[in-house]
Amino acid sequence: MMQAHPTYVAYAGSSMEPLFEPGDILQVFPYAQKRVRRGDVIFYSCPSQNCNIVHRVAELDARGIRTKGDNNRRADSWVVSPQQVVGYVVRALRDGRWRRIQGGCIGHLAVKSARALKHISAWTDHTMALLHACRAIS
């Protein structure tokens, strides 16, 4: 069961695009009895960066939580302790419409699928440009 009092934060940056865009309002619930899972989108304080961050859980191990922005190539260089986690993102508001944010296995698979589609789209665009160039030459 979710806590009665969520936290609302305005998203800034580009590390979670296209899932979040600057100005999106994120609804964050504390974990309470729920466990942090790989694929969750978490909101946490990062003392080494002196800021708050919203990133996806990439890995969990004995050292802590490793995170990564969906739009970043590499995982973050720091490890997040459970005490730094404010909560997990449940919904995002953009253009007057709330969207549910998937976490866990589904969230992890969604990111992998989106990344694969991005690469396929880039490859297709490149291939089509080459075909058009070849036709222009012949």
Residues of the chain above pLDDT 90, percent: 62
Residue 6 CB partners (closer than 8 Å, separation 6+): 27, 28, 29, 87, 90
pLDDT at 138 over 70: no
**Prediction pTM value:** 0.79
Fold of 7-137: Umud Fragment, subunit A (2.10.109)
Of 26-30, 57-61, 102-106, 124-128, the one with minimum mean pLDDT is: 124-128
Domain residue ranges in the chain: 7-137
- Among 6-15, 97-106, 120-129, the range with the most confident prediction by mean pLDDT is 6-15
* CA-CA-CA-CA torsion sign (45, 50, 53, 56): negative
